[in-house]
Amino acid sequence: MKTLIVYDSVYGNTEKIANSIGDTIGGDTRVVRTGDVNISELESIDLLIVGSPTYGGSPTPLVQDFLSGISESSLKDTSIAAFDTRLSAKFFKIFGNAAKKIDKSLKSKGGISIMPPEGFLVKGTKGSLVEGEEERAAVWARDIISSKM
């Protein structure tokens, strides 16, 4: 399964989650920052996973630019999954979260969502990941693998 994991990270937390997911999926998996991905790579993948920190209830501008650059129906028959890093549930209930918006955008481009959007918690805006979140990301990645079998 050829997998591309695209992420943006401001304080390193989303990058840690992306790498945990990538390490767990293994095989033919590439983990890349939004600014370093070539849109043409989407033509030859089986699974696209996109992650972003949540800022004001949305993905970062770099992730939004990446999503906007994907042409309509170019993800037809491509499995997709979305994740974000965020503060506690209290905040995202008020402002929303990036993962849901990423998932919606990828589906609008023809992607097939194989997992509900997932959020991984950070201790504060500039804080580190809550203990156990990298391990939880690995479990989420194993669930993705199971859904593809």
Q: How confident is the model at residue 149 (pLDDT cuts 50, 70, 90)?
A: low
Q: What is the signed CA dihedral for 134, 117, 107, 67, rounded to 10 degrees?
A: -50
Q: What angle do CA 39, 110, 120 make, to 5 degrees?
A: 75
User: What does the pLDDT average to over 71-100?
Assistant: 83
Looking at per-residue pLDDT, the higher value among 135 and 88 belongs to 135
Q: Which range of residues forms the domain containing residue 139? A: 3-148
pLDDT of residue 73: 78
| The pTM of the whole model exceeds 0.75 | yes
CA dist 33 and 28 (Å) reads 17
Looking at per-residue pLDDT, the higher value among 122 and 126 belongs to 122
- Beta bridge partner(s), residue 113: 80
pLDDT of residue 58: 94
The values of phi and psi at residue 143, to 5°, are: -65, -40
Closest CA to 47 of 33, 62, 26, 69: 26
CA dist 69 and 6 (Å) reads 13
pLDDT of residue 124: 80
CATH code at position 69: 3.40.50.360
Asked if pLDDT for residue 85 goes beyond 60, the answer is yes
Instruction: Count, in order, helices (H) and strands (E) of the chain.
Output: 5, 6
Number of structural domains in the chain? 1
Tell me the pLDDT of the chain averaged across its residues: 92
CA dist 1 and 136 (Å) reads 22
Handedness of CA 47, 21, 141, 123 (dihedral sign): negative
